[in-house]
Amino acid sequence: MRFEDISISKIQLDNRTCEISFLSDLTVLRNSIQQKGILQPVHLKALGTGRFQVVSGFKRIDCAQALGFTSIPAFILEDEISLLECFERAVEENFFSRKFNVIEKAGVIQKLEKEFNISKEVLIQKYLPFLGLNASETVYQIYKNSVTLDPFVQEYIVRDHLPVYVIEEFFKFSLPDQRVIILFLQSIHFSVSTLKEFLVWIYEISLRDRSSISDMLLEPLKAIVQDHTLDGRQKLQVLRQWLKNKRYPRLSTLETRFVMLKQKLHLPLEATEFFEDNKLHMKLSFQNKKELEQWIEKMKEASLKPELDEILKIV
Amino acid sequence: MIFYRPSKIYVDPSVGDSPITQSILKTFPDVPCDYTCEKPNILNQLSGYSDPLLEGKKHLWITRNQGKLLKKCGASTSSLNNLVCCNYFILDFSFNCHFECVYCFLQEYTNLPLMIVYANIDEMLHALQELLDTTSSSIRIGTGEMADSLALDEITGFSQYLVPFFANQKKAFLELKTKSDSIQNLLKWDPKGQTVVAWSMSPSSYIQKYDFKTASFEERLKAAKLCEQAGYKIAFHLDPLIAEPTWKEDYQELIDHLFSNFNPAWVSLGALRFNANLKSMIQKRFPHTTLTVGEFVSTPDGKKRYFRQFREELYQTVHGYIEKYHRQTPTYLCMENKVVWQNSMGSVPLSEQDLEKHIVTHMGTFERCQNLSLLLFLRGLFFA
Ligand code: SF4
C-alpha cells in the first residue's frame, strides 16, 4: 500500500461497488474539509490503467469535489488485492469508526451476495457475525428483505432508528402501500411501540376486510390527522381508538359500554384485561372516616342502580 | 388427502429391526436411506431453506423415543391453575405431521422440523401395560398430540399393535385422533369397544381453507362411517372453532351433519388459540390467510384467544346445537378456564378425574343402557 495525492479526475466516481453509507449527513464533513482539508486519506484500488476505484472515502471524495478540490490524499491498494478483500477492508474501516444503520448492514449483505457471489451459507456463518449480527437464516432474511423496502421507508427506518421488530412489519406491505404509509407517517409521529401496533392493525384490517391500505389511510385516518382542533397527542389517541374499533369491533363495543356504565355508577370499577376474568375490582383511597363513609354511600347507591346488573352481565 | 412420501429416510440402528422400521422401509424401497446413531445432518442445513419446516418434512427419521413414552396431557400439566382438564394420557409415538394445517402448533417446533417416527413399539406397549397396572380408574390414552394419529398409519402400521393391545383391556380406551382417512389397517381388527377414532372436524369450507393436504370433509365422514361399522367408537373434536363471519350457520350445519350420521362417544370444543410466535410463523408461511385476524387478545397463559365473552358465545352456541339432539353426548372444552366452563356449559367439572369419568362412563353405559334418566343422573353427579 502506498500513499499518494491522486487527481480526482482519475477516480471512477460512478463505481459505487464498495460504498456502504446510507443517508449520511455531509454538512459536518464538508465544513471540516473546507476548514482543514482532508485529514484522513481515502483508500483507492489501482485498476492498472492509471485509473482508480474507490474502496473507502466516498463521502470525503464527494465533498472535496463539491468544494472544488482537484486531488485527494489516498492510500493505494495494489491491483493484486481482490475487490472482495477491498470491500471487506472498507466495511471494517467504516465499522470501527462508526455504527452501521440497519439499511447499511442490509446493503453490505446484498453487495456480498450480488456483487461478490458469496453463498448464503457463508454469508450467514461468516459475514453476519462480522457485522455484529446473529448467524441465522431469520436474521439473514430480515436484512435481505430490508433492501427491498421502498427507499422512503428505508429513510424513515434510519431516521427514526426503528428496531428490527418494527421494520419487519413493513415487509407485509406491497411497495405502493409502503409509499402510502410513509406519506401518512410524515403527518403524525408515532412512538416505536405505537407504530408497530399501527402497522399490525392496518395490515390486519385490510386483510380481513379485503380493503386497500390507501382507502383506509386516505379517507378516515387522514381526516383525523388534519383535524386542527386536536393537538398531536389527541390525534394519536383518536386515531388509535378509530383503528381499535375497526380491528376489534365487538371488544371495543364491550369496553365502551363498560366505561359508560362505570361512569354512571360513580365507582372506580376495573375489569381484568380484556375481561378474561369475570370479576370486577375496585381500589379506594380515603384519609378519614368521613371519606370512607362517602364511599360506602356511593356503593349503596350503585348497588340499587340497574347499571350494576348490566355491568356485572358484561363481565 | 395427500399421502406422505419422504425424500430421504434416516434409521437409528437401535430400532433397525423394529417391525415399524421394517414396514416403513418396505413401503419405500426406492427412497435413499441412511443408518445413523446421530441426529440427521440435514437438521443443520434446514435453516438455508426459505421454508425450513416444509423442507424438514421431506426427511423421515426413524428412531427410539428416549424420553418418557407416556405423558399427562399438556393442559393438565399447564402452569395455569384454573384450567379445567380431562385426565388424559399421551403416547408419544411420532413427532410432526406432513399435513399443513394453517393453525398447527407444531410449526413452532423449528429446532426439530423433521418427520420423526419412534419405532420402539415394544417399549411403548410395556410402558402402557405398566400404567394400566397401576391405575385404578378408567383412562383415555391418545396418540394424536405431537402428530396426527393415523396420517402415517398405512406406512408405519402402528395401529396394528395398539388396537389389539387395547382390545384386551377393560379400563383403558385408546383414542386415535386424526384428520386423515387412513383407516385401512383399522378395518382389519375388532377393537372390542376399546378404541375411539376421533376426527377433528370443521365446516367443509374451513377445511378447504385451513387444513391443507388433509382428508376432505366428505373423506373424513366416509372413513368415520366405515370405522363405526367395523366396531369403533367415533368422537369428534371441533377444535379449533374458528369464528368466520358465517360461523353460526356453518357450525349449525356441521353439527346437524355429524349428529344425523353418528352417535359420537364425545365431542370436544376448543376455540382457536395460538401464541405470538405461532402467529408470526403462520403469517410468514401463509401470508394471505385471514385466520389470525379475528378478535384475539392475550390471555394469562401467553396465548392469544378470542376474548372471553366471544369464546363463551361460540361454545354456548355450538353446545346448544349439540344439546338439541338430546343425546347426552359428553361435551367438553379444551384448554379453558372455570369461568368459561361455567358461563358456556352451565357447570364446572369437580376435578379432571371427574370429567374423565364422565366421558368414559358415558362410553361404557352408552351401549349397555339406553336409560336416559340414568345418564342424566350421572351428568348431575359429576358436574358441580
Ligand atoms: S393434522 Fe394436526 S398435527 Fe397435522 S398439521 Fe394438522 S393440526 Fe398439525
- Give the distance from residue B327's alpha carbon to the nearest chain A alpha carbon, in angstroms: 30
- What's the pTM? 0.86
Distance from the alpha carbon of residue B96 to the mean position of ligand 1, in angstroms: 8
CA-nearest residue to B245 within chain A is: A208
What pLDDT shows up at residue B381?
A: 32
Whether B80 shows a pLDDT value over 60: the answer reads no
Q: How many CB atoms lie within 10 A of CB B370?
A: 9
Q: Taking residues A225-230, report their average pLDDT.
A: 91
**Residue B306 CB contacts under 8 Å (≥ 6 apart), including other chains:** B243, B271, B272, B294, B295, B296, B297, B314
Whether B359 shows a pLDDT value over 50: the answer reads yes
Please name the member of A120, A208, A277 whose beta carbon is closest to the beta carbon of B48. A120
Cβ-in-10-Å burial (0-12, 13-18, 19+) of B70 comes to middle
What pLDDT shows up at residue B295?
A: 97
What pLDDT shows up at residue B371?
A: 34
Q: Rounded CA gap, B35 and B62, in Å?
A: 10
* Spatial CA neighbour of B143 closest among B107, B97, B108: B97
Taking CA atoms only, the protein residue closest to ligand 1 atom 7 is: B104
- For the ranges A73-82, A121-130, A279-288, B215-224, which has the lowest average pLDDT? A73-82
- H or E stretch covering A305: none
CA Rg value for chain B: 20
Residues A154-184: tens digit of each pLDDT: 999 999 999 999 999 999 999 999 999 999 9
Q: What is the mean pLDDT of chain B?
A: 89
Residues B37-73: tens digit of each pLDDT: 999 999 988 877 888 999 999 999 999 998 889 988 7
Taking CA atoms only, the protein residue closest to ligand 1 atom 6 is: B101
- H or E stretch covering B367: helix B352-368
Mutate to test the pocket of ligand 1, among B4, B106, B145 (most ligand atoms within 8 A of CB): B106
What pLDDT shows up at residue B94?
A: 95
Whether B375 shows a pLDDT value over 90: the answer reads no
ipTM of predicted complex: 0.84
Whether B79 shows a pLDDT value over 80: the answer reads no
**B308:A121 CB<8 A:** no
- When pLDDT is cut at 50, 70 and 90, the band that residue B149 belongs to is very high
β B172-178/B195-200 pair status: parallel
Q: Rounded CA gap, B262 and A187, in Å?
A: 60
Which CATH architecture fits A1-98? Answer: Alpha-Beta Complex (3.90)
Output phi, psi for B186, to 5 deg.
-65, -35
Residue B270 in contact with residue B239, Cβ under 8 Å?
yes
What pLDDT shows up at residue B384?
A: 29
> Does the beta carbon of B245 lie under 8 angstroms from any beta carbon of chain A?
no
Please name the member of B47, B287, B297 whose beta carbon is closest to the beta carbon of A136. B47
Tallying the residues shown for chain B, one arrives at 384
Chain B residues with CB-CB distance to A247 below 8 A:
295
What pLDDT shows up at residue B223?
A: 98
Tallying the residues shown for chain A, one arrives at 315
Distance from the alpha carbon of residue B211 to the mean position of ligand 1, in angstroms: 8
Q: Taking residues B308-315, report their average pLDDT.
A: 97
Q: Taking residues A258-268, report their average pLDDT.
A: 97
What pLDDT shows up at residue A198?
A: 96
Q: What is the 3-state secondary structure (H, E, C) of A167-198?
A: HHHHCCCCHHHHHHHHHHHCCCCCCHHHHHHH
Mutate to test the pocket of ligand 1, among B179, B274, B286 (most ligand atoms within 8 A of CB): B179
- When pLDDT is cut at 50, 70 and 90, the band that residue B340 belongs to is very high
Look at B373 and A24; give whichever has higher pLDDT. A24
- Give the distance from residue A89's alpha carbon to the nearest chain B alpha carbon, in angstroms: 27
Whether B374 shows a pLDDT value over 50: the answer reads no
Q: How far is the CA of A118 from the CAs of A31, A127, A270, in angstroms?
A: 38, 10, 58
Chain A residues with CB-CB distance to B343 below 8 A:
278
- When pLDDT is cut at 50, 70 and 90, the band that residue A27 belongs to is confident
What pLDDT shows up at residue B224?
A: 98
Residue B61, CB-side half-sphere exposure with 13 Å CA sphere: 21
Q: Taking residues A1-8, report their average pLDDT.
A: 90
For chain A, what percent of residues have pLDDT higher than 90?
76
Whether A63 shows a pLDDT value over 50: the answer reads yes
Whether A136 shows a pLDDT value over 50: the answer reads yes
In chain B, how many H helices and how many E strands?
A: 14, 20
Q: What is the mean pLDDT of chain A?
A: 92
Residues A187-226: tens digit of each pLDDT: 899 999 899 999 999 999 999 999 999 988 887 888 898 8
Residue B94 in contact with residue B317, Cβ under 8 Å?
no
Using the structure block, give the residue that is written with the C-alpha cell 365487538: A250
Hey, what's the cell of A53?
Answer: 476505484
> Does the beta carbon of B287 lie under 8 angstroms from any beta carbon of chain A?
yes
Ligand 1 binding pocket, CB closer than 6 Å? B 97, 99-101, 104, 106, 147-148, 179, 214
SS3 of A12, please? strand
Chain B residues with CB-CB distance to A250 below 8 A:
295, 307, 309-310
B contact residues 290-329, partner A, Cβ 8 Å cutoff: 290, 292-293, 295, 297-300, 307-310
What pLDDT shows up at residue A28?
A: 86
B contact residues 43-72, partner A, Cβ 8 Å cutoff: 47-50, 52
Taking CA atoms only, the protein residue closest to ligand 1 atom 8 is: B104
What pLDDT shows up at residue A155?
A: 95
Domain coordinates of chain A in residue numbers? 1-98, 99-148, 151-247, 251-314
Q: How many CB atoms lie within 10 A of CB A313?
A: 9
What pLDDT shows up at residue B84?
A: 63
What pLDDT shows up at residue B254?
A: 98
What pLDDT shows up at residue B376?
A: 34
Whether B369 shows a pLDDT value over 70: the answer reads no
Domain coordinates of chain B in residue numbers? 8-383
Distance from the alpha carbon of residue A56 to the mean position of ligand 1, in angstroms: 53
What pLDDT shows up at residue B349?
A: 83
Residues B123-148: tens digit of each pLDDT: 999 999 999 998 877 888 999 789 99
**A137:B52 CB<8 A:** yes
Which CATH architecture fits B8-383? Answer: Alpha-Beta Horseshoe (3.80)
Q: How many CB atoms lie within 10 A of CB A214?
A: 16
- Give the distance from residue A52's alpha carbon to the nearest chain B alpha carbon, in angstroms: 37
Q: How many CB atoms lie within 10 A of CB A39?
A: 9
Q: How many CB atoms lie within 10 A of CB B34?
A: 14
Residue B198 in contact with residue B176, Cβ under 8 Å?
yes
DSSP A55-72: EE-HHHHHHHHHTT--EE
Q: Rounded CA gap, B90 and B127, in Å?
A: 12
* Spatial CA neighbour of B99 closest among B219, B184, B229, B11: B219
Distance from the alpha carbon of residue B145 to the mean position of ligand 1, in angstroms: 9
